[in-house]
Amino acid sequence: MKKLIFFLTFLAALAAAGQAELNPVSLPYLMQKQFDGRDLKLIKVLAQNNAYTRYYVTYKSGGLTISGIINVPRGNGPFPVIITAHGYINPKVYTNGRGLKREQDYLARRGYVVFHPDYRNHAGSDRDPDEDLKLHLGYVEDVINAVYAVKNSGLKFFAKEKIGLLGHSLGGGIGLSIMVAKPDLVQAYVLFAPMSSDYRDNFNRWILHRREPKYGPRATALKIIERYGSPESNPEFWDNISAKTFLDNIKAPVEIHHGTADKSVPLAWSEKLVKELKTKGKAVKFYIYQGEPHEFINSWPLVMKRTVEFFNEAIL
Predicted confidence band of residue 219 (pLDDT cuts 50, 70, 90): confident
β-pairing verdict for 52-61 and 64-73: antiparallel
- Which region, left, alpha or beta, applies to residue 139 given φ > 0 means left and ψ of -120 to 50 means alpha? alpha
pTM for the model stands at 0.92
The Cα–Cα gap between 253 and 206 comes to: 28
The values of phi and psi at residue 86, to 5°, are: -75, 160
Amino acid at 117: P
- For the segment 33-41, the average pLDDT, to the nearest whole number, is 98
Query: Mind listing the pLDDT tens digit for each residue in 76-127?
Result: 999 999 999 999 999 999 999 999 999 999 999 999 999 999 999 999 999 9
Distance in Å from the first CA to the final CA of the chain: 50
The Cα–Cα gap between 253 and 188 comes to: 5
- Which pLDDT score, from 0 to 100, does residue 20 have? 53
3-state SS class at 143: helix
Domains defined along the chain, listed by start: 34-198+242-315 (3.40.50.1820)
Query: Mind listing the pLDDT tens digit for each residue in 159-205?
Result: 999 999 999 999 999 999 999 999 999 999 999 999 999 999 999 99
